[in-house]
Amino acid sequence: MTDVATKHDDIDEHVEDEIKACLSLTEPRSFFLFAGAGSGKTRSLVNALKHIRLRHGKELTLRNKRVAIITYTKKARDEIIGRTEYDPLFEVSTIHAFAWSILKGFNHDIREWLRIALSDDIEELREKEAKGRKGTKASAERLADIASKSKRLETLDSVSSFVYNPDGENRGKGSLNHSDVLKMAGALLRGKKTLQRVVRDGFPFILIDESQDTNRHIIGALFAFQAENKGAVALGLFGDMMQRIYADGVDDLGENLPADWATPVKVLNFRCPKRIIGLLSKIREATDGQSQKPAENALDGVVRMYVLPTNTEDKAAREKEIAAKMANIAADEAWTEPEAIKSLILEHKMAARRLGFIELYEPLYGFEPFRTGLRDGTLPCLTFFATRIAPLIEAQHDKFALMRVITKHSLLMLPERLKAAENQKAHLKKVDEAVKSLLALFSENASPTFFAILQNVKNSGLFAIPDVLRPALAGAEFDISNETAEVTLDGQQVFDEETDDQRAERDIAIGNFLNAPFHQIQLYQKYVAGLAQFDTHQGVKGLEFPRVMVIMDDAEAGGFAFKYEKLFSAASAEDKILAATRRLFYVTCSRAERALCLIAYSSNPSAVKTHVVDRGWFTDDEVILLE
Q: Is residue 5 over pLDDT 60?
A: no
Give the span between the Cα atoms of 152 and 182, in whole angstroms. Answer: 19
Length in residues, the chain = 627
pLDDT in tens, 127-174: 999 998 888 877 887 888 898 889 889 999 999 999 998 876 555 678
Q: What one-letter code names the amino acid at 328?
A: N
Kindly indicate the confidence band of residue 500, based on its pLDDT and cuts at 50, 70 and 90.
low
Please report, for residues 165, 347, 374, the alpha-carbon distance to residue 365 in angstroms, rounded to integers and kept in the order given. 21, 12, 7
Contacts of 18 (CB under 8 A, 6+ apart): 31, 262, 264
Put simply, whether the predicted model's pTM sits higher than 0.95 gets the answer no
Comparing 84-88, 104-108, 494-498, the range with the smallest average pLDDT is: 494-498
Sign of CA dihedral 140, 144, 147, 149: negative
- Shortest CA distance to 184 belongs to which of 113, 115, 248, 237? 113
Buried b (16+ CB within 10 A) or exposed e, 342-366: bbbbbbbbbbbbbbebbbbbbbbbe
Give the span between the Cα atoms of 302 and 594, in whole angstroms. Answer: 7
> What pLDDT was estimated at residue 234?
97
Ramachandran quadrant class, 534 (left: phi over 0; alpha: psi -120 to 50; beta: rest):
beta
> What pLDDT was estimated at residue 486?
32
Strands 534-536 vs 342-345: parallel, antiparallel or unpaired: parallel
When pLDDT is averaged across residues 574-580 and rounded to a whole number, the result is 89
pLDDT in tens, 447-473: 999 999 999 999 999 998 887 888 887
pLDDT in tens, 378-421: 888 898 999 899 999 999 888 899 889 888 888 888 888 788 88
